[in-house]
Amino acid sequence: MGLLTGKNAIIFGLANDKSIAWGITQAFAREGARIGISYAGEALEKRVRPLAAQVGADFVEQCDVASDEQIAAVAEKARAHFGEVDILVHSIGFANKDELQGYFYNTSRAGFHLAMDISVYSFVALAKAFQPFLRKGGALLTLTYYGSVKVAPNYNMMGVAKAALEASTRYLARDFGPQGVRVNAISAGPIRTLAAMGVSGFRDMHKSFLEIAPLHEHVTIEDVGNAAVYLCSDWAAKVTGEIHYVDSGYNIMGTPEPGAFKEKQE
């Protein structure tokens, strides 16, 4: 018996085998969950279908979360397919490239709206669409980053969006509590995914992370997948509204400690 045996899990945000959503999907499949996958658009289908096949997912549907109609349609199909859903994972974030460099004060009104729509509102909208057929004991999960709490240079608009996403996690936890459904977020350390590689300064940031984080190890999509299993399993039965860090301890450090990594290696 796996930790998720008998549970139906639908995962949003799979792009390729580097995606955090893929780490979560693989861990869920290993633990016995029945998997459903949703991806953004047609361009991704040829990548996503073979991955879905690897974990025996029998529900693979496109959904651009910018569209209320597409969210309603995927929810309806999920209900027809699964009957009830136990777990929904939201692993989606997007801002225009212009909003991820330079001065934060240069964020455009349209860029602000787009980032909030795709990265924050979509979690709320998916929660609402799936609410009528979420099983008691179920869980919603989203992905966030420390740039919501402290300034991460260039993360800019996404930092503001992640702060709103984390607050949304707490408000949703209150809404869904009486239904017996938990809502949490994982705050992951930097991982070289599609969304991260398109970012200037990411490489240096990824390197310095290793020196600052107490464990001096990079976070992998497997690490995030295993934490996601816990948060969405019955072992986390009384955990809701939390922001759970999977970051090698990076966030607990106040001042950096020069030389700490070298000492560890010696």
**List of residues contacting ligand 0WE (CB under 6 A):** 93-95, 97, 100, 145, 152, 154-155, 158, 190, 195-196, 198-199, 201-202, 205
- The pair of structure tokens assigned to 185 is 């977020």
Helix axes 20-30, 221-232, angle to 10 degrees: 50
CB of 1 to ligand NAD, least distance (A): 29
CB of 22 to ligand 0WE, least distance (A): 15
Measured from the CB atom, the residue of 36 and 225 that comes closer to ligand 0WE is 225
CB of 233 to ligand NAD, least distance (A): 20
103 annotated active-site:
no
Q: DSSP of 107-131, one letter per residue?
A: --HHHHHHHHIIIIIHHHHHHHHHG
CB of 189 to ligand 0WE, least distance (A): 8
CB of 69 to ligand 0WE, least distance (A): 23
Whole-number Cα distances in Å, 261 to 150, 206, 248, 252:
23, 14, 13, 16
Partner from ligand NAD, ligand 0WE, none contacting 199, C-beta within 5 to 8 A by type: ligand 0WE
Which of 67, 167, 185 minimizes the C-alpha distance to 126?
67
121 annotated active-site:
no
* Helical residues (DSSP H) of 135-237, grouped into ranges: 156-176, 194-197, 202-212, 221-232
Partner from ligand 0WE, ligand NAD, none contacting 24, C-beta within 5 to 8 A by type: none
Measured from the CB atom, the residue of 176 and 250 that comes closer to ligand 0WE is 250
Which stretches of the chain bind ligand NAD, using CB under 6 A? 13-15, 19-21, 40, 64-66, 91-94, 118, 143-145, 188, 190-191, 193-196
Q: What CA–CA distance (Å, rounded) separates 173 from 242?
A: 9
Q: For tokens 């039965």, what's the residue? A: 237
The catalytic position among 145, 146, 245, 250 is: 145
Partner from ligand 0WE, ligand NAD, none contacting 198, C-beta within 5 to 8 A by type: ligand 0WE
Measured from the CB atom, the residue of 12 and 155 that comes closer to ligand 0WE is 155
For 96, phi then psi, to 5°, come to -65, 150
Measured from the CB atom, the residue of 88 and 186 that comes closer to ligand 0WE is 186
Strand partners, 139: 87, 182
The catalytic position among 39, 146, 155, 250 is: 155
For 187, phi then psi, to 5°, come to -100, 105
Whole-number Cα distances in Å, 79 to 82, 129, 169, 227:
5, 10, 23, 26
Measured from the CB atom, the residue of 19 and 25 that comes closer to ligand NAD is 19
Partner from ligand 0WE, ligand NAD, none contacting 95, C-beta within 5 to 8 A by type: ligand 0WE
Could you tell me the strand order of the sheet in which 85-90 lies? 59-62, 34-39, 8-12, 85-90, 134-144, 182-188, 243-246
Q: Which residues are catalytic?
A: 145, 155
